[in-house]
Amino acid sequence: MSRNLWFSAFVTAMLVSPFSVFAQEELRVVEPFQLQRLDTQTGGFQLRANGVTETLVQTNPEAAVLPALAERWETSADGLKWTFFLRPNVTFHDGTAMTPEAVAASFKALLPTGNLIKNAKVKDVSAGDGTVTFTLEQPFAPFLAYLLDPAVPVLAPSSFASSGELTAIVATGPYRIEKAELPQGLDLVRHDSYWGDVAKIERVRVDGIPNPETRVNIALAGEGDLVLEIPTTAVSRIDRSGETHIVRAPVPRVVMMLVNVKKPQFADVEIRRALSFAVDRQAIARTIMGNEDLAANQYFPPAMKGWHFEDFKPQTLNVAEANRILDELGWKPGADGIREKDGTRFAGMMRTFPQRAYLPVIAEALQAQLKAIGFDLSIQVGESSLIPEAQNDGTLELGLGIRTMIYQVPDPVARLTSDFATDEPSTDATGATGWKSEEMRAAVAAYNLTTDPEARLPLQREMAEILQNELPVIPITFTDEKYAVSERLEGFVADPVMQTRPLNHLSFKD
């Protein structure tokens, strides 16, 4: 570090100067994630959300798949070949034209590092005349949704070294990366020859700030234009501040109680129903999530058309029924009010993690509510990997986790597969533990082969019904996303499927 820099840093730090030239011009986005590596595998979601990377298709707020870099597509009769007709006149951030060869090469390079897209089992990608064709090993109906795996965007040839290694992110989105300071943030600058709506704001700064209180302070101080994941407790403070206001958007995310079905006290589905009856979801949604409508009476939230069913018998509070079930099963209250059967205490340790601030609070609420049916709940708050570790070594009793159903891939089946229809070890605090359902697996397999949306509906209903009846996880509440949006910002629309924040549509009021 040069002496000059030191000196000036010191002198200017001494002077309080709240105004900076940059601050007025750039759009300041604050999100909770810190980008660890500038690659698509670890940072793909952030890169796409902030408008750097794109792929052949995109989604609308209803999670429907729309054209993007491809104008249209065709599927072969056997369902094995998917051909995409590329949009002409698309240029990469480096000014080169997007050719079919470049697109095919990009997929070839990135598919091995892809995440969910691996389930589509792509055999080959080839370039044609203005087209790119994917050849699959087997028919895979939800392929379009899986194409949206953020780890596999379309990148320019200049992104790769001659060895094939990814060395830079040169993509097609409305913003290009000017400078990356990892893991703190990204400086983005407008891609002037963008094929769609060219961004109105020239510069964007994205900061990754994991601490929610710090994000709240930034919102309160008016230091961020778009601050993501505002905790419920800070909503009214921010709304009052005058600098920013809160925009709420429902998101397809459920908070659920994970149950190890292998444990004797949870093996019987009736017991899981009893536990579910004991949960006062309305109270939790109202007091902790700040919105009673978020109570989760089934696994999928109402916004997810075709997966949420109004006619399902809702899981609601009914302590009397819960106690009746338990009495019938022979679980007798002991001296301390906790039930017992054959020497097994009706008790469990619930593991959860504090990254989502509401989780430990909900765990405590559950502790109090389950006491009413003679269940002794203890709580362990630790790192988020605590739950999958316990799942894998079989020590998990209960867990409290979250699942974003269409996280990254806008088709819930992707996550249903990894959470409820796999033998793979658990890696995230989301799925079933010790629970196995052949019906579920059959439904998933059938779904993956069914292209016709109408024909898919009964399969979707079947899957949702299995979850509702078998309760491998007990849904507690849905969540909404709370954005703090500065008053000077115009044009922000929250994306309920959480695929992107259309930064190119934003502008500053004069």
Partner 1 sequence: MQRAVRHAVPRAVLRRVLEALSVALILATICFALLHAIPGDMALRIAVGQLGTENMSPAAVEQIRDAEMLSRPLLVQYFDWLKAVATGDIGRSFVSGRPVAEELRQAGGYTLRLAVIAWLLSYALALPLGIAAGLKPDGAIDRATAFAAAAFSSLPTFLIGIALISIFVLALNLLPPAGYRRPEHLVLPAITLALGLMAPSMRVIRDAVAEVQASAYMTYAHVRGFGKAKAFIRHGLRNASVPIVTFAALQFAYLMDGFFVVETLFNFPGIGNAMVSALLARDVPVVMGCALLIGTTFAAISLAADLICMWMDPRLVDEGHGSR
**Which residues are at the interface with partner 1 (CB under 8 A)?**
1, 6, 8-10, 12-13, 15-18, 20, 22-23, 33-34, 36-37, 41-42, 45, 115, 118, 181-184, 207, 209, 211, 214, 217-218, 220-223, 353, 355, 383-386, 388-389, 392, 402-404, 407-408, 418, 424-425, 427-430
**DSSP result, 414-427:** HHHHHHHS--SPP-
Taking the least distance from each CB to partner 1, the nearer of 83 and 404 is: 404
Distance of CA 132 to the CA centre of its chain: 29
Please, which residues bridge with residue 124 across strands?
Answer: 135
User: What are the two backbone dihedrals, phi and then psi, of residue 371, each rounded to the nearest 5 degrees?
Assistant: -60, -35
Taking the least distance from each CB to partner 1, the nearer of 94 and 383 is: 383
In angstroms, give the least distance from the CB of 243 to partner 1.
Answer: 8
Please, which residues bridge with residue 475 across strands?
Answer: 256
**Distance from C-alpha of 467 to C-alpha of 437, rounded to nearest angstrom:** 10
In angstroms, give the least distance from the CB of 121 to partner 1.
Answer: 14
Taking the least distance from each CB to partner 1, the nearer of 373 and 429 is: 429
- Strand arrangement of the beta sheet that strand 344-345 belongs to: 332-333, 339-341, 344-345
In angstroms, give the least distance from the CB of 397 to partner 1.
Answer: 16
What is the DSSP secondary structure assignment for residue 271, as one 8-state letter?
H
Q: Which residue from 114, 51, 195 is spatially nearest to 495, judged by alpha carbons?
A: 51
In angstroms, give the least distance from the CB of 437 to partner 1.
Answer: 20
In angstroms, give the least distance from the CB of 308 to partner 1.
Answer: 21
Between CA 74 and CA 178, with CA 45 as vertex, the angle to 5 degrees is 105
Taking the least distance from each CB to partner 1, the nearer of 53 and 408 is: 408
* Sign of the alpha-carbon dihedral angle for 226, 232, 236, 238: negative
Taking the least distance from each CB to partner 1, the nearer of 217 and 287 is: 217
User: What are the two backbone dihedrals, phi and then psi, of residue 160, each rounded to the nearest 5 degrees?
Assistant: -110, 145
Taking the least distance from each CB to partner 1, the nearer of 46 and 172 is: 46
In angstroms, give the least distance from the CB of 183 to partner 1.
Answer: 7
Question: With helix as H, strand as E and coil as C, how does 425-476 read?
Answer: CCCCCCCCECCCCHHHHHHHHHHHHCCCHHHHHHHHHHHHHHHHHHCCEEEE
In angstroms, give the least distance from the CB of 20 to partner 1.
Answer: 5
Taking the least distance from each CB to partner 1, the nearer of 169 and 373 is: 169
Taking the least distance from each CB to partner 1, the nearer of 251 and 325 is: 251
In angstroms, give the least distance from the CB of 273 to partner 1.
Answer: 27
Write b or e for each residue in 101-115: b if 16 or more Cβ atoms lie within 10 A of its Cβ, otherwise e: ebbbbbbebbbebbb
